[in-house]
């Protein structure tokens, strides 16, 4: 079990999920927390002075050796990723991230003594033929990753890295654990610039429409695509449960089973904002697969738990934070 006396490194800790994880580890009493991210600290989503903060490119094996030195636990959240617009237009860049997990595992094998290696995978590993329906009643089970036909670029990188974790666990006894994240959202995340995901993007668009007085919104695709979205606090709880497990080692879904259409997500944000907008649909924009929702049968069986924050509740907190970030730019006009 991971405890507060363990030294922990969070790779990709300058990102959205990583920043929340570092904050929670410090809150739980961890005294030695190392944070590594390729971005300058000025671009980190959260910076925690209590942690050891390092700017380094983990594609480089030497930097991975530095990252894991003297560490008991490794959380690998580092990769090139973003919303569907980024993923579909940066396949090569996404694939390069295979170096990060590979080099971390190599560095841990050289070092020895790592108690846990947690790898953040993605629902993008799932076979595309399983995701053609737009029904909210279609859920992806862990076995649906094979036969392999994942999201091109990003999904292949994640699936390959899952296999690396498996074989380093089997061959070199590195205690790897893997979670397949389904659309994590919440405050302190990307909401503009091209890497944002649907919940934050829709919050931003609704806020822009309301504050500008131009009451219309562009939706990518026909709005009938289905997704499930997991609030950040549920994600953290799931990370700890999976990382701490001594009996379950295989990749497992970590996501909400509350599937909704993108149109329903817009409905929710409009209701929070107290506004109704005219919708236009950009059928040429990146929109991803038709349907991707988390089947939580396995996580409920193994851990007697599943992410359970209601989408409306999580979106209200997310909207409030994004509104706080955006209000100053409109107040100057």
Task: Give the distance, in angstroms, between the CA of residue 318 and the centroid of all CA atoms in the same chain.
Answer: 15
For residues 288 and 305, the model is more confident at 305
Cα gap 328→127, rounded to integer Å: 43
Catalytic residues, by residue number, are 154
Q: Which of 113-117, 290-294, 299-303 has the lowest mean pLDDT?
A: 290-294
CB 33 within 8 A of CB 54: no
pLDDT digits (tens, 9 = 90+) for 14-52: 999 999 999 999 999 999 999 999 999 999 999 999 999
Q: Is the peptide bond before 162 cis (omega within 30 degrees of 0)?
A: no
Q: Assess whether pLDDT exceeds 60 at residue 176.
A: yes
Cα gap 25→11, rounded to integer Å: 13
Q: Assess whether pLDDT exceeds 60 at residue 333.
A: no
CB neighbour list of residue 62: distance below 8 Å, 6 or more residues apart:
none
Q: How confident is the model at residue 332 (pLDDT cuts 50, 70, 90)?
A: low
Q: How confident is the model at residue 85 (pLDDT cuts 50, 70, 90)?
A: confident
Q: How confident is the model at residue 196 (pLDDT cuts 50, 70, 90)?
A: confident
pLDDT of residue 219: 94
> What percentage of the chain exceeds 70 in pLDDT?
97
Q: Is 92 helix (H, G, I), strand (E, B) or coil?
A: helix
For residues 239 and 81, the model is more confident at 239
pLDDT of residue 187: 97
pLDDT digits (tens, 9 = 90+) for 243-296: 999 999 999 999 999 999 999 999 999 999 999 999 999 998 876 777 788 999
pLDDT of residue 202: 96
pLDDT of residue 90: 85
Helix (H) or strand (E) holding 239: helix 232-244
Q: What share of residues in the chain are helix, strand, coil (percent, to 5)?
A: 45, 15, 40
Q: How confident is the model at residue 84 (pLDDT cuts 50, 70, 90)?
A: low
Q: Cα-flanking dihedrals φ and ψ of residue 72, to 5°? A: -90, -35
For the chain, list the domains and their CATH numbers. 8-131+139-184+230-254 (3.40.50.720), 189-227+258-293+310-327 (3.90.25.10)
The verdict on pTM exceeding 0.85 is yes
Q: Assess whether pLDDT exceeds 90 at residue 82.
A: no
CA dihedral 148, 224, 82, 75 (to 10 degrees): -60
Closest CA to 224 of 131, 130, 134: 134
- In the numeric block, the tokens 């259409």 are attached to 261
> What percentage of the chain exceeds 90 in pLDDT?
83
pLDDT of residue 157: 96
């Amino acid at each position: 079990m991971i405890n507060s006396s363990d030294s922990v490194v969070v790779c990709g800790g300058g990102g959205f999920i990583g920043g929340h994880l570092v904050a929670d580890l410090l809150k739980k009493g961890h005294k030695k927390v190392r944070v590594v991210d390729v971005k300058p600290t000025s671009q980190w989503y959260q910076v925690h002075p209590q942690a050891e903060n390092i700017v380094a490119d983990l594609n480089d094996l030497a930097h991975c050796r530095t990252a894991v030195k003297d560490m008991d636990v490794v959380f690998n959240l580092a990769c090139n990723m973003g919303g569907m617009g980024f993923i579909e237009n940066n396949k090569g860049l996404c694939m390069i991230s295979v170096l990060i997990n590979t080099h971390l595992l190599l560095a841990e094998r050289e070092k020895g003594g790592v108690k846990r290696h947690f790898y953040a995978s993605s629902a993008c590993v799932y076979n595309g033929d399983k995701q053609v329906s737009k029904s909210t009643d279609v859920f992806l089970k862990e076995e649906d990753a094979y036969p392999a036909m994942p999201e091109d670029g990003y999904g292949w990188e994640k699936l390959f890295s899952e296999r690396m974790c498996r074989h380093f666990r089997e061959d070199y006894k590195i205690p790897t654990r893997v979670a397949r994240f389904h659309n994590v959202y919440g405050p302190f995340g990307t909401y503009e610039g091209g890497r944002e995901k649907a919940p934050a993007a829709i919050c931003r668009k609704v806020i822009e429409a309301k504050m500008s007085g131009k009451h219309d919104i562009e939706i990518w695709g026909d709005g009938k695509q289905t997704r499930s979205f997991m609030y950040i606090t549920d994600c953290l709880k799931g990370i700890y449960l999976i990382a701490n497990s001594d009996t379950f080692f295989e990749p497992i879904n970590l996501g909400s089973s509350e599937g909704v259409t993108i149109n329903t997500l817009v409905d929710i944000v409009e209701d929070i904002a107290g506004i109704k907008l005219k919708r236009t649909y950009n059928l040429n924009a990146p929109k991803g697969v038709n349907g991707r929702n988390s089947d939580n049968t396995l996580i409920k069986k193994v851990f007697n738990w599943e992410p359970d924050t209601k989408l409306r509740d999580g979106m209200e907190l997310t909207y409030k934070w994004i509104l706080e970030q955006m209000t100053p730019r409109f107040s100057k006009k």
